[in-house]
Amino acid sequence: MPADDIEFDPDADHESVARKILLDQLTGQARSRHELAERLARRNVPDEVAGPLLDRFEEVGLVDDEAFARSWVDSRQRTRGLARRALAQELRRKGVADETAREVLAEVDPGDEAEVARGLVRRKLRGMRGVDDTAAARRLAGMLARKGYPAGLAFSIVREELAAAGRDEIAGAESTHDL
């Protein structure tokens, strides 16, 4: 039957457009329900169409904020070296519920987090051969702070890695104020 013979149904049209938008958005990577709802709103899909469609996508498992959060945390920790604090901020921006974010972030092993920070410092330290120890320590601690690491952990790791690299001038500092 030719498309011209089909009676125009604005609700069906909005739903088919919304369904296509959702499937396109979910192709390639998971997204939070909030992100998908925002995308539908930007495309002028009415709330009375978007809400039930998002509910249905959740029912069949295509939209799952907890799975999204786990995947996001794993990816961002591995590729960007982000700490829990920065990951929590990103999840909040993605519209993941605070309770869901807390549950997922509680699964992050503090030892793994420290190892990621240690790796970041080692990589950055290789390119700082001509930089004096005090400036290197400040830059490294600043980098870790921007990635969400607590100050105490950041300075401790920086101090240890400087000492391991033979840059002992800062490694023996008595407090973080000396850095």
Question: What is 3-59's CATH topology?
Answer: Arc Repressor Mutant, subunit A (1.10.10)
pLDDT at residue 25 in the model:
92
Between CA 38 and CA 33 the distance in angstroms is 9
For the chain, the maximum distance between any two Cα atoms, rounded to a whole number of angstroms, is: 82
For 8-37, the pLDDT digits (tens) are 345 557 888 899 999 999 998 889 999 999
Q: Are 101 and 88 in contact (CB under 8 A)?
A: yes
Mean pLDDT, rounded, of the chain: 87
For 92-148, the pLDDT digits (tens) are 999 999 999 999 999 999 999 999 999 999 999 998 988 999 999 999 999 999 999
For 51-77, the pLDDT digits (tens) are 999 999 999 999 999 999 999 999 999
pLDDT at residue 168 in the model:
61
Between CA 108 and CA 112 the distance in angstroms is 7
Q: CA of 141: how far to CAs of 19, 92, 150, 160, in Å?
A: 46, 25, 10, 12
pLDDT band (50, 70, 90) for residue 5:
very low
Burial category of 49 from C-beta neighbours within 10 Å (exposed 0-12, middle 13-18, buried 19 and up): buried
pLDDT at residue 148 in the model:
96
Q: Where are the domains of the chain?
A: 3-59, 65-106, 110-178
In this prediction the pTM is 0.77
Q: Are 144 and 120 in contact (CB under 8 A)?
A: yes
Q: Pull the structure tokens for residue 164.
A: 């391991």
